[in-house]
Amino acid sequence: MSRWFAELRLIRRSYLSLWSLALLFALSALAVVSGLQHVARQHATIERVAKAQAQDFAAVAATHGKPDGDAGDAAYYSFLLTRDAPPPLAFAAIGQRDIQPYVLRVRALGLQQQLYDAEAINAELALPGVFDWAFVLVYLAPLIVIALAHDLVTGEREGGRLRLLLSMPGHGLWWRRIGLRYALVMMALGLPLVAGTVLSTAPLAGTGAMLLAAALYLGFWFGVALLVGSAVQASATAAAGLIGCWILLTLVLPTLANAAITRAIPAAKGVDLTLAQREAVHRGWDIAKGDTFERFFLNHPEWRGREAFEGRFHWKWYYAIHQVGDETVATDVAAYRTSLLAREQWSARAGYLLPGVAAQSVLHRIADTDQAAQLHYQDSVATFHTTLRRFFYPYLFADRPFTRADFERIPAYVPRAPTGSLPLAPLLALLATAALLLAIGGYRIARVSGAGRA
Amino acid sequence: MPHSSAIAPAIEIRGLHHRYGAREVLRGIDLQVAPGQIYALLGGNGAGKSTTLNALLGFLAPASGTVRVCGIDPAAAPAEARARLAYVPESVALYDHLSARENIDYFLALAGAERGRSSVIDPALEAVGLPGHAWDKRVGGFSKGMRQKVAIALALARHVPVLLLDEPTSGLDPKATLEFNALLATARARDVAILMVTHDLLSAVDIADRIGFLAEGRIEEERTAGPTGERFDLNALHARYANPGVAA
């Protein structure tokens, strides 16, 4: 223990080390606070929308809930709330939640035109990303590792202490120094996360999984620092080399990989599906009603024979147009989802080679804030929307009145079940790369000789 | 102090050869230093002094020959050999942001001293004559002589039987050199075997019990101080030192 304490004192008396660790702690704490505020804002938004929604729904029910009420009016004016409340660990890894909708008011009209409203609102936020704990870990923590470990050997050589140090008995000098810095970086990074977990009453197991991912990712960077630091003679060269690695591994290669994946797997935007669905709906006004109903009955034969109505307009025709509109773009929707999932899978595969990508995808999966989580929310909205249609269609096609009591029976949205998980493949990839680099770097640093003059 | 062949040498080198690539830097060195003896290995630049030290420190494995520190082969068991020796580099560099006390404490911890370190640090600092007001000052402001005192204090505090010194008086003024030699005499009195590699003939003559002339990778000649305390003939030594490769 004595050697560990001696090393700890050496770090404690080094201003660079202290300031680096303090900076990391401050950044981590700031990111956690920022994440908690982001989550609180989303909760507040959901609460605010739910309150307004309840007032709006009550007003609609009061207006249209009559003994001879029309289900078409009720379905048209009744917006129902769906929400995807931030998962407990979202504060640490906000993921897609800042650019994807998490509260949607849907009605029994075409689904696709209601799903992607938010995509066009704040897509620009996707460019810089959000400042959360995952950002601090993936992008900033490696810089602190570089500051603390780049001159592990070269600093002693330049300071003229290398031969004296190596002339001392005992083993494991470099591992002790790396181990201590590793532990301190983990503490500076992890303590605010644990505090955030306690404050948000998130499950500790999820936080543990995040810390595991962080430990492996930082292990990778300490391995890189060992490798580069043991290969060069000057601290400035080591620092420049490591900054080059950081630029390459966290900025350039992920951007290139993203560009390649985007190019290789084209995907329409959600707003394109909205437009396509809207066009199909508008076309419904221009074609014969019989044609619309025939297409409608292909998937809803139970209502065949109920389509007749007098006059130029009936809600059942209108809802059939919307239903057909959704079904017209069903293939495009499936392709869109397949493309998104394929991109996600290829991003995960890129993570096997790019630890920053792996760490990010692992954190977002654990926090349940990634693309998959967003698709789960969309699925839950789609399921609810189907339930809504099934609720209203008997009223519409059987010409049943929609009374005040029927408003009470309108189904409510059931939030999706949490899907956060610990993805093993990227974690194992992180473990493999970290272990490999630490082993090679450790082997090289163990061969550092005092035979030079310094 | 006269060399006694009855005492087992603390430092023993026999037939040491080493080469860097095609260049043979050591060509069969034989050297022994007994406890309580100071051996000065004199030689010019490139004579092989530092390579000899590196072999003793276990920093390199010799091509052939044997090297022993208290009977231990430093190349085969470096940690065990280093536990028995203290090394003072030519330019003593310590952690500038630590005090003299803290530096010694740190290196003692590295050497495996678990507890009670403070009880050996102060006497060692006192023994080397470092002024008390400097003990808790950062060594960043120390002169070379003061740094060397701290390094010697570290060696004394470790209570090791072997001391290796690399150009110890290089850059020291005459007064500091005298003080340093007095320190070595203190260590010698504690039965420490001291090997100093140097090209400072005056200092070697002043303190060493034996002097070896190293030239082109071999010890060409060794001289021993007289058995009744007579020192070396400086003029003869100077002539010898100035003409390496010419047998006396």
Global pTM reads: 0.87
Q: What is the pLDDT of residue A276?
A: 85
Evaluate whether A243 touches A225 at the Cβ level (below 8 Å). Answer: no
Q: With b meaning 16 or more CB within 10 Å and e meaning fewer, what string describes A91-119?
A: bbbbbbbbbbbbbbbbbbbbbbbbbbeeb
B54, closest residue in chain A (CA to CA):
A451
The pLDDT of residue A207 is above 90: yes
* pLDDT mean over A139-154: 95
Distance CA B220, CA B244 (A): 8
B57·A9 Cβ contact <8 A? no
Q: pLDDT by residue (tens digit) across A261-277?
A: 989 988 777 778 888 88
B83, closest residue in chain A (CA to CA):
A169
Give the nearest partner residue to A451 out of B54, B92, B95, using CB atoms: B54
A164·B113 Cβ contact <8 A? no
Q: How confident is the prediction for chain A on average, in pLDDT? A: 90
The pLDDT of residue A30 is above 80: yes
A9, closest residue in chain B (CA to CA):
B106
A5·B82 Cβ contact <8 A? no
Q: What is the pLDDT of residue A368?
A: 95
The pLDDT of residue A148 is above 90: yes
Give, rounded to a whole angstrom, the gap between the first and last alpha carbons of chain B.
24
Question: How many CB atoms sit inside 10 A of residue A211's CB?
Answer: 18
The pLDDT of residue A1 is above 80: no
DSSP state of A252: I
Domain ranges of chain A: 1-449
* 3-state helix vs strand vs coil in chain A, percent to 5: 75, 0, 25
Mutation target for B interface from A158, A168, A176, A177: give the one with most B CBs within 10 A: A168
Q: What is the pLDDT of residue B116?
A: 61
B79·A449 Cβ contact <8 A? no
* pLDDT mean over A328-334: 89
Distance CA B220, CA B222 (A): 7
B98 touches chain A (CB under 8 A): yes
B93·A451 Cβ contact <8 A? no
The pLDDT of residue B248 is above 70: no
Give the nearest partner residue to A159 out of B60, B93, B106, using CB atoms: B93
Of the pLDDT bands very low, low, confident and very high (cuts 50, 70, 90), residue B4 is very low
Sequence letter at residue A171 = H
* pLDDT mean over A234-261: 94
Evaluate whether B212 touches B221 at the Cβ level (below 8 Å). Answer: yes
A451·B60 Cβ contact <8 A? yes
Q: What is the pLDDT of residue A146?
A: 96
Q: What are phi and psi of B228, to 5 degrees?
A: -110, 25
Q: What is the pLDDT of residue A122?
A: 45
| Domains along chain B with CATH numbers | 1-84+162-248 (3.40.50.300), 95-159 (no CATH)
B79 touches chain A (CB under 8 A): yes
Of the pLDDT bands very low, low, confident and very high (cuts 50, 70, 90), residue A391 is very high
A155, closest residue in chain B (CA to CA):
B95
Taking a contact as any Cβ pair under 8 Å apart, which residues of chain B between 1 and 60 contact chain A?
50, 54, 57, 59-60
Of the pLDDT bands very low, low, confident and very high (cuts 50, 70, 90), residue A121 is very low
